C-alpha cells in the first residue's frame, strides 16, 4: 500500500514539475521579463502573495510540497529548525512571503532582506542578468527595499509560532554611506527588526553597494561588529536571538580567518558563507553568455567549489564554536549537493537561491526533493538525527547512494 502511494505521489510531483517548467516559469519570464529579469522576480513574489493571502491556498501548498521528517530536525542557536534547507537573502527582500516559503514550500530557514534603515530604490534597472549557459545570474541590485518601517509592519503580522526559522538580514544602503552613518544605521536597522525575527544576519558582503565590501576589511569589520554588539547588549533580547555575519567568497584564507575571529570575539553565533562573487578569474572561466561581462555579483552552480572551500576553511578554523550556514552554488533540490555542504563543507544549513529560480531546477517540489532524498541517504548511512553530522563535518565523504 505504501509503495503504491509513493508511486502515485511521484507521478503527481512529476506532473507539477511539468506544469511549472512548461507553463508557469515561461509565463513568469516572458515579455518584459526577457529584457529585465527582475520583472520575473516581481511576478513570482506577487503570485506567492496571492497564495499566502488565501488560507486554503496556503494549506494546499503545505500539504503538497512541504516535506517533514523528524530525522531532519536541528537547532541553530536558540532556533529549532524542521530541516537544514535554507533560502538565502535576496529572494524575499521586503519580508512579503516568508510564510509561503517556510510553511508552504518547506524551507527550514528563510532569510528575508537585506533590510536597510532607509527605503531606497537601489541601482538603475536592469540590474539582474540571466546566464543561461552557466545556470547562473549576475546582479547589481544595490539593496533596493522598502526600509525598516515597512518591513516591521509586514513581519508584525506573522504568527508568533512558526514551523520554520526566520532570519532577518540587515545592511546599510547607499544613503547611509553617503552620510557617513553606515555603522549606526546597521545598528539601527538591527535594533528595529529585533522583535520580528528569530535570528539576524549582518550582511557585509554585497559587492553592489559602494562601501559594503569594505566592511569586510578587519579594522572596519571590528568597528561594525562592536557596534552590533553594543546594540545587542542594550536590547531586551540580549543573547536570545542569534547574530550571524555574512561574508563573501573572494576573501583569502588569511583574511577569512581574521574576520571570523573578530566575529567570534564580538559574540557572533554563526556565519553565512558565502555571497555573490566578483572574481575575474571565475568570470573568465564561464561559458559564453550574452550578459557574462555585466558589472555585478555572480551566483549559480559555478560558485559551488569556491563557496565549498570557504565553508570548509571556516569549519577547519573554528570547528563547532562558530556554526556555518552554507550559501553559494547550492542546489537545494539535490541531496548530494546538500550532503557535500553538511560534510566536507562543515555547514549546519545549506541555503539556495539561484537554483531555486533556474528553469531547469525551479519547481514547487524544490525543497521536497532535496529533503526527502537527504533523509533517505542519512538512513542508508545508519544515521538517526542531524546530530550525527557532527562527526562528519569537514570530512570528504561519498554520498550514500541506493
Per DSSP, the residues of 221-246 read HHHHHHHHHHHHHHSTTTTTS-EEEE
For residue 401, tell me if it sits in a domain: no
pLDDT at 107 over 70: yes
Q: Percent of the chain beyond pLDDT 90?
A: 82
Question: Span 15-38, mean pLDDT?
Answer: 93
pLDDT tens, position by position, 283-304: 999 999 999 999 999 999 999 9
Q: For position 7, what pLDDT does the model report?
A: 65
pLDDT of residue 272: 97
Q: Are 153 and 316 in contact (CB under 8 A)?
A: no
pLDDT tens-digit readout, 188-229: 999 999 999 999 999 998 888 877 878 999 999 999 999 999
Residue 366: burial class (beta carbons within 10 Å; 0-12, 13-18, 19+)? buried
Q: What is the Cα–Cα distance from 225 to 221, expressed in whole angstroms?
A: 6
CA distances from 267 to 169, 258, 262, 270 (A): 17, 15, 9, 9
Looking at the predicted structure, is the pLDDT value of residue 179 above 70? yes
Identify whether 299 is a catalytic site residue: no
pLDDT at 2 over 60: no
Provide mean pLDDT across the span 348-356: 95
Range of the domain at 196: 2-391
**What was the pLDDT predicted at 154?**
94
Instruction: Work out how many domains the chain is built from and give that number.
Output: 1
Residues 260-276, mean pLDDT to the nearest whole number: 95
What is residue 160's predicted lDDT score, i.e. its pLDDT?
A: 81
Residue 353 above 70 pLDDT? yes
Q: What is the pLDDT of residues 310-345, one digit of tens each?
A: 999 999 999 999 999 999 999 999 999 999 999 999
Dist CA 73 CA 80 (whole Å): 7
In 19-96, the DSSP E strands lie at 74-76, 79-81, 85-92
Active-site residue (options: 206, 299, 333, 362): 206
- 303 falls within a domain: yes
What tens digit of pLDDT does each residue of 48-103 get? 999 988 889 899 999 899 999 999 999 998 899 999 999 999 999 999 999 999 99
pTM assigned to the model: 0.95
Distance CA 168, CA 88 (A): 10
Task: State the average pLDDT for the chain.
Answer: 92
Q: Rounded CA gap, 66 and 369, in Å?
A: 10
Residue 8's pLDDT is 66
For residues 157 and 195, is the Cβ–Cβ distance under 8 A?
A: no
Q: Is 338 within a domain?
A: yes
Phi then psi dihedrals of residue 96, to 5 deg = -90, -30
Q: How confident is the model at residue 3 (pLDDT cuts 50, 70, 90)?
A: low
Give the model's confidence band at 381: pLDDT under 50 very low, under 70 low, under 90 confident, else very high.
very high
Q: In this predicted structure, what is the pLDDT of residue 347?
A: 97
Residue 178 pLDDT greater than 90, yes or no:
no
CATH classification at residue 242: 3.20.20.70
Q: Which one has a higher pLDDT value, 43 or 212?
A: 43
Amino acid at each position: 500500500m505504501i509503495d503504491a502511494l509513493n508511486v502515485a505521489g511521484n507521478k503527481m510531483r512529476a506532473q507539477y514539475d511539468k506544469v511549472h517548467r512548461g507553463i508557469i516559469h515561461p509565463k513568469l519570464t516572458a515579455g518584459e521579463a526577457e529584457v529585465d529579469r527582475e520583472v520575473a522576480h516581481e511576478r513570482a513574489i506577487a503570485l506567492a502573495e496571492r497564495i499566502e493571502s488565501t488560507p486554503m491556498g496556503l494549506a494546499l501548498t503545505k500539504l503538497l510540497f512541504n516535506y517533514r521528517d523528524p530525522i531532519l530536525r536541528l537547532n541553530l542557536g536558540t532556533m529549532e529548525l524542521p530541516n537544514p534547507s535554507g533560502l538565502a537573502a535576496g529572494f524575499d527582500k521586503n519580508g512579503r512571503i516568508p510564510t509561503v516559503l517556510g510553511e508552504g514550500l518547506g524551507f527550514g530557514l528563510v532569510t528575508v532582506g537585506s533590510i536597510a534603515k532607509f527605503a531606497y530604490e537601489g541601482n538603475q534597472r536592469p540590474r539582474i542578468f540571466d546566464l543561461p549557459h552557466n545556470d547562473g545570474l549576475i546582479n547589481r541590485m544595490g539593496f533596493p527595499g522598502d526600509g525598516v518601517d515597512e518591513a516591521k509592519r509586514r513581519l508584525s503580522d506573522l504568527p508568533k509560532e512558526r514551523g520554520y526559522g526566520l532570519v532577518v538580514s540587515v545592511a546599510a544602503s547607499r544613503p547611509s554611506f553617503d552620510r557617513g552613518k553606515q555603522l549606526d544605521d546597521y545598528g539601527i536597522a538591527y535594533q528595529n527588526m529585533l522583535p520580528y525575527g528569530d535570528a539576524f544576519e549582518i550582511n557585509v558582503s554585497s559587492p553592489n553597494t559602494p562601501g559594503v565590501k569594505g566592511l569586510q576589511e578587519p579594522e572596519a569589520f571590528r568597528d561594525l561588529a562592536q557596534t552590533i554588539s553594543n546594540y545587542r547588549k542594550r536590547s531586551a533580547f540580549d543573547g536570545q536571538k542569534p547574530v550571524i555575519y555574512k561574508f563573501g567568497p573572494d576573501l583569502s584564507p588569511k583574511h577569512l580567518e581574521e574576520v571570523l575571529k573578530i566575529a567570534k570575539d564580538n559574540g557572533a553565533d554563526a556565519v553565512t558563507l558565502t555571497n555573490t562573487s566578483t572574481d575575474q578569474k571565475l568570470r573568465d572561466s564561464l561559458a559564453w553568455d550574452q550578459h557574462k561581462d555585466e558589472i555585478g555579483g555572480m551566483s549559480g552552480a559555478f560558485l559551488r567549489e569556491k563557496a565549498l572551500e570557504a565553508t570548509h576553511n571556516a569549519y577547519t578554523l573554528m570547528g563547532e564554536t562558530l556554526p556555518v550556514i552554507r550559501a553559494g552554488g547550492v542546489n537545494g533540490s539535490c541531496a548530494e549537493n546538500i550532503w557535500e555542504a553538511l560534510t566536507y563543507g562543515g555547514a549546519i544549513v545549506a541555503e539556495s537561491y539561484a537554483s531555486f529560480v533556474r528553469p531547469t531546477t525551479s519547481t514547487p517540489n524544490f525543497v521536497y526533493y532535496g529533503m526527502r532524498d537527504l533523509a533517505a541517504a542519512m538512513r542508508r548511512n545508519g544515521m538517526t538525527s542531524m546530530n550525527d553530522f557532527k562527526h562528519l563535518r569537514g570530512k570528504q565523504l561519498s554520498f550514500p547512494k541506493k
